[in-house]
Amino acid sequence: MSEFKLESKRPLIISGPCSAETREQTLDTCTRLAATGVVDVLRAGVWKPRTRPGSFEGVGLKGLAWMAEAKRITGLPIAVEVASAKHVESALEFGVDLLWIGARTTVSPFSVQDIADAVRGSDANILIKNPMNPDVELWSGAVDRFLKVGVAPSRLGLIHRGFSYFGHNELRNPPMWHIVLGMRSRYPEMTMICDPSHICGNRDLLQNIAQTAADLRYDGLIIESHICPDKAWSDAAQQVTPDNLERLVRNINWRHDSTDDPDFVKALNNYRNEIDQLDSELFDLLSRRMKIADRIGAVKRDNNVAILQGSRWSSIVDRVLGQAAQLNLDEEFLKTILETIHIESINRQNKVMNE
């Protein structure tokens, strides 16, 4: 029976190698991490679901024995990834305190159900990583499978590890923070941990993502650390030494949830009033703009002219983007807003022309 409680500490810091590779590497990394004093739980992958066959797929059961040894030596609870009922059984036998479901497993309802059935009746703590794709339904489905077999909500948590992205991005798995905010409003009390390592894919951006997670009031972090990162058998580019892990964690500013300071409250209220006022002007303008689109639809209809007038649209885009610098607004942001407005404008004209 695990004594460990997910909500025992905020922020909860989980660290350890991507993979347990050898006994020496596992124990060296874990004892050094424990000595930093900033790590609450040790992690390692012993079964590695890899995108392509032939990559290092984990050492299996012997890795569990090394992690159990790390737990004995350091006194810290341990976490491993499980992807099947058999993994759950072995992990619990070796005294693993925290099981996590990897992103490639969360996408599969059959696998998630198998794992949920295997933990039924145990007191395991489980963290569910977001699925590879930004699908809140799939992620909640996994959570609900565990709730349904009777896992207490206090023993369940979520890990945000970013989403697979088609195309080039400086991050390996862009975080899409807003998707996770949606998940958090479904399960407001549930522990939410950020995994900067798999979001970034390289060490340079870890600090920045970790700070964003702290600013968004995440409950903790899971960050990969390896005694010799460049020699790691998996995810080498994103792992950091235990010393650097300590520096990174100590550099994070975990801000207050709130403060009663009257000056702060007054300033915030003033700004919020201003935002509310501007929002109402903004949407009033949008409403007026759409009414004009309706009239344009009517004249096009009466003259039997097509809705889309290509050169007109590109001249709008050019004019607005030309003002980006002066407005101090990001060009991509302006483009997104313009496109959204354009789609709605076309829908409105379409309606007028065909009614």
Residues that bind ligand PEP (CB under 6 A): 18, 45, 102-104, 129, 161, 198
Rg (CA), the chain: 25
HEC string of 26-39? HHHHHHHHHHHCCC
Q: Is 231 helix (H, G, I), strand (E, B) or coil?
A: helix
In this complex, which beta carbon is closest to Mn ion, that of residue 19 or of residue 349? 19
Residue 147 Cβ vs ligand PEP, minimum distance, rounded to whole Å: 21
Nearest CA to 224 among 77, 45, 23, 10? Answer: 45
Q: How far apart are CA 15 and CA 223, in angstroms?
A: 5
Q: Report yes or no: 87 and 117 within 8 Å, Cβ to Cβ.
A: no
Establish if 83 lies at the interface with Mn ion (CB under 5 A).
no
Residue 45 Cβ vs ligand PEP, minimum distance, rounded to whole Å: 5
Instruction: Look at residue 103 and give the partner it binds from ligand PEP, Mn ion, none, a contact being a CB closer than 5 to 8 Å depending on partner kind.
Output: ligand PEP
In this complex, which beta carbon is closest to ligand PEP, that of residue 32 or of residue 129? 129
In this complex, which beta carbon is closest to ligand PEP, that of residue 21 or of residue 352? 21
Establish if 18 lies at the interface with Mn ion (CB under 5 A).
yes
In this complex, which beta carbon is closest to ligand PEP, that of residue 222 or of residue 352? 222
Q: How far apart are CA 289 and CA 251, in angstroms?
A: 48
Q: How far is CA 322 from the centre of its chain?
A: 34
Question: Token digits for 187?
Answer: 């399960």
Burial pattern 309-338, b for ≥16 Cβ within 10 A else e, equals eeeeeeeeeeebeeeeeeeeeeeeebeeee
Instruction: Look at residue 161 and give the partner it binds from ligand PEP, Mn ion, none, a contact being a CB closer than 5 to 8 Å depending on partner kind.
Output: ligand PEP
Q: How far apart are CA 173 and CA 42, in angstroms?
A: 23
Q: Which helix (H) or strand (E) holds 15?
A: strand 12-16
Q: Which span (132-140, 228-236, 262-270, 312-320) binds Mn ion, by CB under 5 A?
A: 228-236
Which residues does residue 82 pair with via DSSP β-bridges, in sequence order?
101
Instruction: Look at residue 97 and give the partner it binds from ligand PEP, Mn ion, none, a contact being a CB closer than 5 to 8 Å depending on partner kind.
Output: none
Residue 18 Cβ vs Mn ion, minimum distance, rounded to whole Å: 3
Residue 29 Cβ vs ligand PEP, minimum distance, rounded to whole Å: 14
Establish if 235 lies at the interface with Mn ion (CB under 5 A).
yes
Residue 262 Cβ vs Mn ion, minimum distance, rounded to whole Å: 47
In this complex, which beta carbon is closest to ligand PEP, that of residue 32 or of residue 104? 104
Residues 118-157 that bind Mn ion (CB under 5 A): none
Instruction: Look at residue 129 and give the partner it binds from Mn ion, ligand PEP, none, a contact being a CB closer than 5 to 8 Å depending on partner kind.
Output: ligand PEP
CA dihedral 182, 188, 194, 199 (to 10 degrees): -10
CA dihedral 236, 238, 241, 245 (to 10 degrees): -160
Residue 102 Cβ vs ligand PEP, minimum distance, rounded to whole Å: 3
Which residues does residue 214 pair with via DSSP β-bridges, in sequence order?
none
User: Closest residue to ligand PEP, Cβ-based?
Assistant: 102
Residue 104 Cβ vs ligand PEP, minimum distance, rounded to whole Å: 6
Instruction: Look at residue 38 and give the partner it binds from ligand PEP, Mn ion, none, a contact being a CB closer than 5 to 8 Å depending on partner kind.
Output: none
Interacting residues with Mn ion (CB under 5 A): 18, 235
